[in-house]
Chains A and B, each alone.
Chain A
Amino acid sequence: MNIKKDIAISDSGFVFDPTTGESYSLNPIGVEILTLLKEGNDQQEITDFIIQRYEIDKSTFENNYYDFINMLKKFNLIEAEA
């Protein structure tokens, strides 16, 4: 699963997808996850990073992570599988 390469993510949580012209807003943790995904980190690496940094247990984060990924898919921000 890869995030579309050409999307722009600002530090303030503004996302722009030049292929569709759509804009999105993220909360700070959303920015972190999207950036980590764009850098090529996998789910395990992202989970380790988040639970080390935030007051959250693994299973709750995993639940929220999949929900977030589903929204990225819904908004077509993920590259179609080859």
Chain B
Amino acid sequence: MKKQKYERPIINRISIAVSNKFGPKGKIDIISDIDGIPVKELVGKYGSPLYAISEKTLRETYNRAKQAFSTRYPKVQFAWSYKTNYLNAVCKLYHKLGSWAEVVSGFEYDKAIDNGVQGSNIIFNGPDKSEEDLTKAIKNGSLIHVDHFDELYMIMDLAEKMEETPKLAIRVNMDTGIYPQWDRFGFNYENGEAWNALNRIMLNENVDLVGLHTHIGTYILTPNAYGVAAYKLAELAVRIDKKYNHKIKYIDMGGGFASKNTLKGAYLPGTDTCPSFDDYAEAITNALINSEIDPEHLPTLFLETGRALIDDAGYLLGTVLANKRLADGRRSTIIDIGVNMLFTSFWYEHNIVPAQETTHHTEDTTIYGPLCMNIDVIRAAIQFPLLNKGDNVVINRIGAYNMTQWLQFITFRPNVILIDTEGNTHIIRENETKKTFEQLERVPEYLR
């Protein structure tokens, strides 16, 4: 007689007091393969845990975003936000698709150059640009987005000594009707600081004002806020044209588009609340087209969206290490993915699903990572199916920030693979070893 598939025995108390208005979930989602390759096979070949990036999803998402904007506005240019994911293979994919580079440090700047991006196609943002960084960017004709007056005067000083004319934009912060209002970056619109910075640039013969930039926040669920921001930048462009007869070449709306992840504390899931690229595009392009900007000289629209482009393409594959009971009887499941590998778990309720068929039975579960730290909680409370030690799990939508903000802690960061559109797998970052860290350490002579 063929034996039946086993599932561990469970008993759950039926509580009618906390019934969910949406009703119980009828079906357990599973992710058994990534682009047709079984999770078991990937983990078997490359180890667990494992980061996997789907080129197919990456391309589809990029094309959807590009189409949303380019069907509404004549001149659109995406610039890949390096800090969101600066693995070279990922950056090169975006550059292949036509993206320029948006960088915020000398390290990222050099990476973009090494990835074959022309200096003139690099947008240099951020509050920390050294004199050396700026000199390089000026020489290469990169677009420098000025964050503060100290930086502006350093650029003006450099421009006096250099042959090349720095191409500048200023970052503008503003009230777009949302909370929180980011005011730590750039020059404020409402108090006149931005206008003042623009005038100082225009009155300096050694620098060239080419653009206007804003980045209103992150995970913005209100497309209209972008409309307000675009309108305010357009208004500045019109004032400059009127006063100096100088046409702004581009307006950079930055990033901050939400991905479909669910923020902690959100009532509805991100899949229901996240605006589409079309919603953002509609708000931004309408504001620009309806502004007073001369239609013969419409500026190019730059977009630096990172999260919304890459999140869906990233997966974290892991394995159940153990199941145990907490003091109050709740189930806890320990997996080999810690918060150090999933930095975004500090603000998202990440979707975590089994990689193999399960029954519809679930338990109230807390999912912990493997770190010997109390804060290592991947999901504090989730109705989770009954997985056994050794079963695989998949966390999807993790492509943004986790491969840049990850922390090496207690153990090593694992392999990162790319699954190309033909279904071939490639290691794009090797797992670390003890040697990776030891080669950077030095032990003083007297301690040897």
Contacts and interface: CB of A to CB of B under 8 A. Distances in A.
A26 B361 CA distance: 9
Q: What is the interface residue range for chain A against chain B?
A: 20 to 34
A67 B8 contact: yes
A8 interface: no
B3 A30 contact: no
Given A30-B10, A75-B13, A55 B3 contact: yes
A59 B61 CA distance: 47
A10 interface: no
Contacts of B12: 24-25
A64 interface: yes
Contacts of A54: 3-6
A65 B3 contact: no
A25 B3 CA distance: 24
Contacts of B361: 27
Contacts of A65: 9
B7 interface: yes
B126 to A, nearest CB: 51
Contacts, number: 68
A1 interface: no
Classify the interface of chain A: helix, strand, loop or mixed.
helix
B386 A27 contact: yes
A70 B359 CA distance: 22
B14 interface: yes
Contacts of A27: 7, 9-10, 359, 361, 386
Interface string B316-331: 0000000101000100
Interface string B1-24: 001111111111110000000000
A28 B323 CA distance: 20
A32 B14 CA distance: 19
A53 B9 contact: no
Interface residues of B, number: 20
Interface in A13-34: 15, 22-30, 32-34
Contacts of A25: 11-12, 14
A28 B3 CA distance: 15
A24 to B, nearest CB: 5
Interface string B298-329: 00000000000000000000000001010001
A64 B363 CA distance: 14
Contacts of A74: 329
A56 interface: yes
A24 B15 CA distance: 9
A56 B389 CA distance: 12
Nearest to A32: B9
B405 interface: no
B19 to A, nearest CB: 13
B286 interface: no
A25 B361 CA distance: 10
13 contacts: A22-B13, A24-B12, A25-B12, A25-B14, A26-B9, A27-B9, A30-B9, A32-B9, A53-B4, A54-B3, A54-B5, A64-B8, A70-B325
Given A26-B10, A30-B9, 16 more contacts: A15-B11, A23-B13, A24-B11, A24-B12, A29-B6, A29-B8, A32-B9, A52-B3, A53-B4, A55-B6, A61-B6, A70-B325, A71-B329, A75-B11, A75-B13, A77-B11
Interface of B: 3-14, 323, 325, 329, 359, 361, 386, 388-389
